[in-house]
Amino acid sequence: MLLEIPGVLNPAQLQKIEQILSQADFVDGKLTAGMAAERVKYNEEMQQSPQQTDLLHRIIMSSLGHNTRFHSAVLPHRVADLIFARYRPGMTYGDHVDDPIMGGRGGPRFRTDVSMTIFLRDPESYDGGELVIRTSFGDRQVKLRAGDAVVYPSSSVHHVAEVSRGERLVALAWIQSYVRDPGRRELLYELHQAREHLLRAQPADEHTQYVDRSYVNLLRMWSEL
């Protein structure tokens, strides 16, 4: 499932993130690329600084923690440390699939089920830079407003179109979901939307209880710990 999530970050949070990143150092993105991605990756990433990284992580994870759409769509179990990527004119990231296992270096290793891009600049401030995700219905181009996010299966082939003007700035994360299969996650997300609507509109109705029990028991059946 490819899902856009509007308003993950509010203007005050975006302003604070912009302030932190304006003081950060950026390095060649190839330094964190795997063997396959290294051939097609032309961007810059924020150099890890414990103080800056911790503050950025707290801002974004706090916001995601209160976002019900993110939780119902992704069913997050573990979330990788965020990466902040910058694309200036001429930079791009060719077709690739995200690494299946992340973590390590003293921390836990985990499977990547869902990839997330949070846009930190408004689309009119730069040309190009679309995130292009290959789906069974053809390529889908995504270029959202600052503060909006998109989530999609980490197994998807995707690329970032070349930036020709301005600067593309994004936060990236990878998530291990409680539910590994993307088809099951999509079904649970749709069922959750129906369940929430019915619980608000007709909480005592017998059919509401059927939907509620079906969602809870399917999640119990499919979840992995």
- Across the range 69-84, mean pLDDT stands at 96
User: Cα dihedral angle (103, 109, 115, 117), rounded to 10 degrees?
Assistant: -30
Q: For each of the domains in the chain, give its residue range(s) and CATH number, in order of start.
A: 3-177 (2.60.120.620), 182-222 (no CATH)
DSSP-H helix ranges across 23-142: 50-65, 68-74
Residue 62 has pLDDT above 80, yes or no: yes
Under the banding of pLDDT at 50, 70 and 90, the label for residue 105 is low
Dihedral sign of CA atoms 174, 180, 186, 191 in order: negative
Per-residue pLDDT reduced to its tens digit, 194-219: 999 999 999 999 999 999 999 999 99
**Which residues are 131's β-sheet partners?**
142, 160
Residue 12 has pLDDT above 90, yes or no: yes
Residue 123: helix, strand or coil by DSSP?
helix
Per-residue pLDDT reduced to its tens digit, 14-44: 999 999 999 999 999 998 877 778 899 999 9
Secondary structure (DSSP) of 154-178 = TTS-EEEPPEEES-EEEEEEEEEES
Look-up of token digits 């600049």: 121
Entry pTM: 0.95
What the block records as the tokens of 59 is 């801002």
Q: What was the pLDDT predicted at 32? A: 81
* 132 vs 36 pLDDT, higher one: 132
What the block records as the tokens of 17 is 């993130």
* 1 vs 225 pLDDT, higher one: 1
